[in-house]
């Protein structure tokens, strides 16, 4: 549970209870009934449904602002209206503001959709970073699709509120680590205070499967004297595991009785398209091989993460409809990360491929707007002129689409979730910070109001409590 700096315990508990009211519905399990023509098998069983409910908000109008709508559009001196947790209207200065709305004058400021980080380990590797909190890698077998990242998420991680206050992050995907070829299921969260992870769980968001290429799995397991110890070993283990999953799925599809297998259930969910695949992969040649393997077994890669060499195969990624989630300028920290270029992100964008800026870091998640600005600047220096409003798609709508939630969030479009950030200047400036952040229309952070600066239970009573730095 997270509470305001000076809020009473009673008020804090009340807020947490609002965030924990049950809404989710459990889907059918692969092991519930034999498959029939009338009842197709569902592999994406969710026995831990979301209990997220939006916090209470007020009808709000922000006027006089520059708007990046998240879909590549820009409105100067614009107006954004939201009420009932949804965006109601986005338009120019002549947009009518209904009676009864809280009106915020945003002259000289900017409004964007909330930042969505597609690659985070908050909660699984929380702060403080100590061994007792290291819960992201089940490094006991090269394939562990049966583990779920949500079962390690600590909702009190101070990183959540810092990402909200410093980075305007409203949603994020929590992935297992990259020690294993198949690291387990990921979970998408709304970045709100909650006593439980289910109170943060994005309602209806599909699960993901985290996979990893290259150096990490072969180092971890080769160091233990077991397979895989080479890149060819990586692919051999992957292929054998996918073959087993395909056989499991076929038996289920044919209505044959099988013992429930949690690992195979996850992989069958990927093969059926119910669970999205997110693959940690640096080198272009390995990404191309993974694409070949996906065609061999009939699954689809949603996104390559880190992907420092995506610029080499950007045309292939565009053709296959695969996103790349990338850093602006992290490279060289290991051999497979060596051959990157600062122009990677704009070059992928120029090729027409899905382009995303991600963090993979508890500090960098607080300044993804600056990371996008660095990539945009690198592109401009080489003649790829990416506008500010288009670059914002790298932080909002593109990651939303890659997570399977683009129809509900990621842009300021009427009817979508009112996940909104008011910035005190151009969000691509290193001097700009979030002034206000709304999630589903509820004001979750206000830089001008100490009561709207959430602090986790873990931090209460400690020096610097409530500081936003």
Q: How confident is the model at residue 463 (pLDDT cuts 50, 70, 90)?
A: confident
Provide the greatest CA pair distance for the chain: 70
Q: Is the pLDDT of residue 7 over 60?
A: no
Q: What distance in Å separates the CA atoms of residue 205 and residue 26, rounded to the nearest whole number?
A: 13
**Which residues are within 8 A (CB) of 101 and not within 5 positions of it... i.e. 6 or more apart?**
58, 59, 60, 61, 81, 83
Query: Domain coordinates of the chain in residue numbers?
Result: 2-459
Dihedral angle sign, alpha carbons of residues 161, 162, 168, 169: negative
Residues 161-169 have a mean pLDDT of: 97
Q: Is the pLDDT of residue 137 over 70?
A: yes
**Which residues are within 8 A (CB) of 298 and not within 5 positions of it... i.e. 6 or more apart?**
246, 271
Query: Is the pLDDT higher at 235 or at 127?
Result: 235
The per-residue pLDDT for 120 is 98
Q: What is the pLDDT of residues 50-59, one digit of tens each?
A: 999 999 999 9
Q: What is the pLDDT of residues 371-407, one digit of tens each?
A: 999 999 999 999 999 999 999 999 999 999 999 999 9
Residues 438-448 have a mean pLDDT of: 97
Could you count the other beta carbons within 10 Å of the beta carbon of residue 351? 17
Q: How confident is the model at residue 13 (pLDDT cuts 50, 70, 90)?
A: very low
Residue 116 DSSP SS3: strand
For all residues of the chain together, what is the average pLDDT?
91
Name the DSSP letter for residue 55: P
The per-residue pLDDT for 462 is 78
Residues 230-253 have a mean pLDDT of: 97
Looking at the DSSP assignment, which residues form a beta bridge with residue 68?
A: 74
Residue 64 DSSP SS3: strand
Among 59, 183, 199, residue whose Cα is nearest residue 121: 183
Q: Is the pLDDT of residue 10 over 90?
A: no
Q: What distance in Å separates the CA atoms of residue 446 and residue 460, rounded to the nearest whole number?
A: 19
For residue 464, what are the CA distances in angstroms to 5, 363, 461, 467?
A: 11, 18, 9, 6
Could you count the other beta carbons within 10 Å of the beta carbon of residue 49? 16
Q: What distance in Å separates the CA atoms of residue 322 and residue 28, rounded to the nearest whole number?
A: 29
Q: What distance in Å separates the CA atoms of residue 369 and residue 427, rounded to the nearest whole number?
A: 6
The per-residue pLDDT for 44 is 64
Q: Is the pLDDT of residue 184 over 80?
A: yes
* pTM across the whole model: 0.90
* Topology of the domain covering 2-459: TIM Barrel (3.20.20)
The per-residue pLDDT for 110 is 98
154 close to 166: Cβ distance less than 8 angstroms: no
Q: Torsion over CA of 198, 203, 208 and 210, rounded to 10 degrees?
A: -40
Among 175, 200, 159, 190, residue whose Cα is nearest residue 365: 159
Q: Is the pLDDT of residue 417 over 80?
A: yes
CA 220, distance to chain mean position in Å, is 26
Q: How confident is the model at residue 40 (pLDDT cuts 50, 70, 90)?
A: low
């Amino acid at each position: 549970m997270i509470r305001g700096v000076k809020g009473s315990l009673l008020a804090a508990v009340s807020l947490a209870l609002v965030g924990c009211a049950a809404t989710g519905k459990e889907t059918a399990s692969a092991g519930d009934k034999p498959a029939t023509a009338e009842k197709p098998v569902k592999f994406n069983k969710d026995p831990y449904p979301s209990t997220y409910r939006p916090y209470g908000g007020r009808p709000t109008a922000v006027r006089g602002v520059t708007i990046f709508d998240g879909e590549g559009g820009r409105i100067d001196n614009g107006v954004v209206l939201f009420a009932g947790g949804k965006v109601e209207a986005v338009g120019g200065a002549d947009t009518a503001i209904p009676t009864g709305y809280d009106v915020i004058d945003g002259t000289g400021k900017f409004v964007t959709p909330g930042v969505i980080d597609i690659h985070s380990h908050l909660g699984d590797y929380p702060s403080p970073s100590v061994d007792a909190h290291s819960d992201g890698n089940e490094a006991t077998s090269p394939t562990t699709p049966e583990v779920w990242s949500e079962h390690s998420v600590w909702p009190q991680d101070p990183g959540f509120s810092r990402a909200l206050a410093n980075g305007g992050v409203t949603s994020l995907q929590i992935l297992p680590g990259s020690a294993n070829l198949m690291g387990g299921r990921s979970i998408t969260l709304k970045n709100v205070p909650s006593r439980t992870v289910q109170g943060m769980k994005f309602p209806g968001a599909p699960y993901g499967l985290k996979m990893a290429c290259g150096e990490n799995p072969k180092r971890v397991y080769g160091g233990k004297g077991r397979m895989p110890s080479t890149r060819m070993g990586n692919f051999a283990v992957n292929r054998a595991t996918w073959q087993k999953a395909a056989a499991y799925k076929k038996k289920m599809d044919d209505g044959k009785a099988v013992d429930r297998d949690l690992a195979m259930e996850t992989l069958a969910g990927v093969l059926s398209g119910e669970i999205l695949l997110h693959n940690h992969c640096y080198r272009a040649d390995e990404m191309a091989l993974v694409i070949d393997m996906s065609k061999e077994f009939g699954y689809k890669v949603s996104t390559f993460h880190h992907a420092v060499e995506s610029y080499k195969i950007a045309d292939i990624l565009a053709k296959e409809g695969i996103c790349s989630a990338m850093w602006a300028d992290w490279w060289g920290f290991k051999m497979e990360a060596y051959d990157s270029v600062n122009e990677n992100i704009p070059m992928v964008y120029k090729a027409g491929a899905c382009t995303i800026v991600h963090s993979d870091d508890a500090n960098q998640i607080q300044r993804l707007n600056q990371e996008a600005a660095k990539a945009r600047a690198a592109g401009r220096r080489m003649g790829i002129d990416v506008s500010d409003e288009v670059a914002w798609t790298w932080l909002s709508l593109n990651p939303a689409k890659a997570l399977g939630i683009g129809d509900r969030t990621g842009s300021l479009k009427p009817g979508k979730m009112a996940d909104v950030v008011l910035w005190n200047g151009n969000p691509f400036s290193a001097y700009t910070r979030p002034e206000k952040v709304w999630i589903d229309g509820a004001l979750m952070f206000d830089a001008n109001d100490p009561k709207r600066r959430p602090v986790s239970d873990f931090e209460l009573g400690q020096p610097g409590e409530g500081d936003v730095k």
